[in-house]
Amino acid sequence: MHVLEKIQKISPYLVLKFSILVFIMALSIFVASSVVSKCSLFTRSIDSLDDSQEVVMAVTGATLGVSVAITFLPDDYASPLADTLADMSTYFVILLGMILFEKLLITVGVPFIFRFIIPAGIILLIVYYISHKKIIRTIAYKILAFAIVIILAVPLGTSVSKWLCSSSLDYVNETVTQAQDGSDKIEEISESSSSDKSFYETVSSVFDSAIEGVTDLFNYYKGIIQKFINTIAIMMLAYLVVPLVTFLLMLWFMNQLFLFESFRDKGYSLTKDDVKAIKKISAVCNEKGEQKDNNNQI
């Protein structure tokens, strides 16, 4: 009888809430998790990441090509330049790792979130409506908010990066072209060297400019290295910094939207009950003060 009485006390509004939540959970598990990776929002992001990966690979190949080509020059005077170019490969590995991580987040992480994380948050919401414990509701909201951030982080990051850095990426393409041209010229120098011409006469004819000594040739490749440094800075900004900042801004936005206390300072904050208690104490103090004034007047 007690069970039947409890069931009868359940409001139709609460039943409607349960039905909607269960429907959303089933939709997330059986539909969204299998088709979300084919959504145009995510396919565009994957295409953008593929383009970014091709750019990084092209810069990496051009850097290594110039590094190897410089070693063909006589007397090893350009070896420091070659070593500097080779050391830049560390940054390219970081950029490729970030790009591959973002692709993995879309292809594997987003379906996982729809299949497991979002249903877990919805289950906790159902438990909250039954138990009315605020801690369960807070955990459910945090899980769902974090899921939304993860789902939208890569698409927003790639869109913002493309919007902010599209003009700068043209400089990257120009650097790649110049580096490949410089590498080809070194190979041409090594192949066309002859006893009739000195080494620098051969270099001048290949570069179509007057290159008379080590300094001129050194400055030419020094300029290429400076462009590579600028290129690395642009790619670090476009492919690493902007996505991370976008992710942190989304976390901050969710914090402000849901007012999660765990993201805030752990100082004490007043609740509604505290405010009511303060008002009651203030009213009592005012009454006592008025009584003392009346007694003094008497």
- Residue for token digits 């170019």? 85
In this predicted structure, what is the pLDDT of residue 257?
76
d(CA 246, CA 259): 19
Q: Show the domain range for 285.
A: 268-298
Using a 10 angstrom Cβ sphere, with 0-12 exposed, 13-18 middle and 19 or more buried, the burial of residue 10 is exposed
Surface-to-core class of residue 153, CB atoms within 10 Å of its CB (0-12 exposed, 13-18 middle, 19+ buried): buried
Statement to judge: residues 273 and 261 lie in one domain: no
- 75 and 151 assigned to the same domain: yes
What is the full per-residue pLDDT of the chain (298 aa) written as tens digits?
Answer: 454 555 555 667 778 888 899 999 999 999 988 888 888 889 999 999 999 999 888 888 888 777 766 666 655 656 677 777 777 888 898 999 999 999 999 999 999 999 999 999 999 999 998 888 888 988 998 899 899 999 999 999 999 988 888 888 888 888 888 777 766 666 665 565 555 555 555 554 545 444 554 566 667 777 778 888 898 999 999 999 999 999 999 888 887 776 655 444 444 454 556 556 666 666 666 665 556 555 555 5
* Residue 67 and residue 184 in one domain: yes
Are 184 and 256 in the same domain? yes
Kindly state whether residue 33 falls inside one of the protein's structural domains: no
What distance in Å separates the CA atoms of residue 236 and residue 231, rounded to the nearest whole number? 9
Question: Number of structural domains, the chain?
Answer: 2
Asked if the structure places residue 133 within a domain, the reply is no
The DSSP string of 141-185 is HHHHHHHHHHHHHHHHHHHHHHHHHHHHHHHHHHHHHHHHHHHHH
Of 195, 220, 196, give the one whose Cα is nearest residue 69: 220
Residue 92 and residue 174 in one domain: yes
Q: Tell which phi-psi region holds residue 76, choosing left (phi > 0), alpha (psi between -120 and 50) or beta.
A: left
- 260 φ, ψ (degrees, to nearest 5): -70, 125
Same domain, 165 and 292: no
How much is the pLDDT for 279? 66
pLDDT computed for residue 185 by the predictor: 63
Q: Indicate whether 215 and 196 sit together in one domain.
A: yes
pTM of the complete model: 0.73
Q: Is residue 98 part of a domain?
A: yes
Task: Indicate whether 252 and 277 sit together in one domain.
Answer: no
